[in-house]
Structure 1
Amino acid sequence: MKPFYLFLMLLWGALAFYTGYVVLHHGLNLFPDFFGDMAEWTWPGQFNLDFAMMLFLSASWTVWRNGFVPGAWALGLVAFFGGAGFLLPYLTYLAWKHDGDTGAVLLGRNIRETTI
């Protein structure tokens, strides 16, 4: 599992570097470009819509995994607006916390003990 943790952190570092470069050269006002591309019905707009849906799924999973408590909703908002910048370190933290138990990472509070 450790190579996977390192891979997640490598991805996060690359994203942080790229994001920093873009913010430095273009500023933080990404919403007009993001929604403007969607309004034009072009391939960049299709990609942005697809990406927004993935952000929604990530946020929904985060809220569900954490049991729909108020803190889970706050974390879901961070997941939606943070994208991979949130999800990569969050998954790394969960994998470390649950000692690589994928079921615990994915299910969180929703784990049910069963016996066969």
Structure 2
Amino acid sequence: MTLLRLFLLTCLIVIASYTSVTIANHGWNLLPVFLGDMAEMGWPGQFNLDFMCFLALSALWVSWRHQFSAGGLALGLIAFFGGMLFLSIYLLVHTGRARGDMKVLLLGEGRTKAG
């Protein structure tokens, strides 16, 4: 679990740094660029579509893990738009709460209790 947490922390630092520089140089204008690349039907758009599917999967998993509660749906929305910036923080928190139990980490506490 320690290596996973180090990986997540590294991702968080690298992506937060890169995002800060990108925003400073290009502003907050992500969606027109992201969707524009997809509309052109080229490799950058293919990558964006593939990435968007991963974002959707992440959002569905986070929402499911919280049993599609209102809070879980809100977290899922944040996961979709926050990407790895959100997911790295989310997983850092929940790897700590799971105390090394991957079943708890992946399924959530509500699904791992006996009975």
2:111, 2:59 → 1: CA distance? 16
The two structures, once aligned, show a CA RMSD in angstroms of: 1.2
Instruction: Count residues in correspondence.
Output: 114
Among all aligned residue pairs of Structure 1 and Structure 2, give the percentage whose two residues are the same amino acid.
47
Report the secondary structure of 2:94's partner residue.
helix
The alpha-carbon deviation at position 112 of structure 1 amounts to 5.3
1:79, 1:3 → 2: CA distance? 22
Report the secondary structure of 1:41's partner residue.
coil
Question: What corresponds to 1:113 in structure 2?
Answer: 114
Q: What residue ranges of structure 1 are gaps of 5+ in the alignment?
A: none
Does residue 16 (structure 1) correspond to residue 16 (structure 2)? The answer is yes
TM-score, normalised by the number of residues in structure 2: 0.94
Question: What corresponds to 2:40 in structure 1?
Answer: 40
Q: What residue ranges of structure 2 are gaps of 5+ in the alignment?
A: none
Question: 1:48-87 maps to which residues of 2 (within 5 A)?
Answer: 48-87=48-87
Which structure: greater helix fraction? 2
Report the secondary structure of 2:68's partner residue.
coil
* Counterpart residue identity of residue 34, structure 2: F
Question: 1:92-107 maps to which residues of 2 (within 5 A)?
Answer: 92-107=92-107
TM-score, normalised by the number of residues in structure 1: 0.93
Residue deviations 1:54-74 (CA, integer Å, cap 9, x gap): 000000000000011111111
1:54, 1:7 → 2: CA distance? 18
